[in-house]
Amino acid sequence: MTLHALLSTLGDEIQDTDEGASVCSVTKIIPSQDLGMVDPKASEIDVSIGKRDFIIQQAPGLLSSDRDGGTTGAALWRVTPFFAEWMSDQKNMIFTTGVLNSESRVVELGCGISGLLAMTVSPLVELYIATDQEYSLKRLRYNVAVNTQPATRNTRRSKSEGHHLYTKEPKIITQILDWENSVPSSLPTFEGGFNAVVACDTVYNYALVDPFVQTCTDICALKTGDEPTICVVAQQLRQPDVFDTWLKRFLSHFRCWRVPNDLLTENLREGKGFVVHVGVLRQGRE
C-alpha cells in the first residue's frame, strides 16, 4: 500500500479554487463571533478521545492579554479533539494505506498548549514533533507530561477500561517554530526528512496564510526518496474569504484533496463546520 492507494481513496483532486471553495456553500460556516474555543475561561478542560481521558490545562489570562504575536495557542480549540480522534482512529486511511506507520516521523505546526494530537498520534509512529511559538511550549510540555506519566493514585484512569492513560511512553519532541521568524532547518535533522506535516485550525486570518503555506512547503521539500511528505490540514470554517485565500495559496504549492465525508469520523463530517484536506507538494516546487 502506498501514497497512490491513499490518493485513490480520497477521490477527485481539487483542480481550482472555485471547485474547492464550493465546500463553503454546503458546509456550515461558524459565525465569526463564535471563534471556536472549547471554553476560553476554563483553567482546565476534560477531554475524552476514544478510550482515553485527558486533562488539559489552559492559560485564560494569557489568552486575554495583548501579547505581541498572538495568544490563540493558549486555549483548546473545538476542532482539535475531533481531528485527534480522526487521526488516531484505527480506520484512518492514512494508516490503513501504509502512508504512515510505526516508522514514520510527523511534524505538527501550531500545536498550541493541549498536545492532544501529539499524545494520540505519537503511539502510532516513530517520532512526533510538536511545534509552536515559545509562549505555548511551557503548558504544552506540562500537558504532555501530566497526561502521559505512569499512573499513580492521583492520576486519572480511563473511564471505560481503568487502564493508564498510556501503556507506552510516547515519542514526542516539543520545538519552537514560528512560521514568520523560524525556518524548518531548526527542526531535528533526520535522513530522508519527514513523512507528514499536520496542522489543526492554524489558518484564521489573511496574515497567516503565506507564512503557514511556506512553512508546509519548506518541510515537505526536505523529504527524499520515492514517497513524498503528505500535508494534512484540518480547519474550522469561519470566513469564506480567508478559506479561499488559503486554498489558492496552497494549490500553488500542493496538489490537494478534500477528505470525503465517508472517510471522516462523525464529528468532522459535512455540516459540522470543519474540513480536512490532504496535500502533496508539486514536483519541482520548493
Residue-level pLDDT at 182: 79
Domain residues for the domain of 198 are 3-36+77-281
Residue-level pLDDT at 168: 45
Q: Is residue 60 part of a domain?
A: no
Residue-level pLDDT at 167: 37
Residue-level pLDDT at 170: 59
Q: Is residue 68 part of a domain?
A: no
Q: From CA 134, how far away is CA 125, in angstroms rounded?
A: 25
Residue-level pLDDT at 86: 97
- With pLDDT > 70 as the criterion, what percentage of the chain qualifies? 79
Residue-level pLDDT at 30: 55
pLDDT < 70 regions, the chain: 1, 19-35, 60-73, 150-170, 285-286
Q: Is residue 54 part of a domain?
A: no
Closest-CA residue to 229 (of 214, 244, 218, 243):
218
CA 13, 17, 20, 22: dihedral to nearest 10 degrees?
-150
- The tally of domains found in the chain comes to 1
Q: Is residue 218 part of a domain?
A: yes
Q: pTM of this prediction?
A: 0.86
CATH number assigned to the domain comprising residue 213: 3.40.50.150
Residue-level pLDDT at 12: 92
Q: Is residue 140 part of a domain?
A: yes
Residue-level pLDDT at 124: 95
Residue-level pLDDT at 47: 93
* Cβ-defined contacts of 202-208 (< 8 Å, 24+): 202/109, 202/110, 202/233, 202/235, 203/233, 203/235, 203/242, 203/243, 203/246, 204/35, 204/72, 204/236, 204/238, 204/239, 204/242, 205/242, 206/242, 206/245, 208/179
Q: Is residue 142 part of a domain?
A: yes
- Give whole-number Cα distances, 151 to 48, 146, 156, 232, in Å: 17, 10, 7, 32
Q: Is residue 250 part of a domain?
A: yes
pLDDT tens track for 4-25? 999 999 999 998 877 655 665 5
Residue-level pLDDT at 104: 95
Q: From CA 139, how far away is CA 155, in angstroms rounded?
A: 18
Residue-level pLDDT at 73: 55
Residue-level pLDDT at 281: 97
Q: Is residue 276 part of a domain?
A: yes
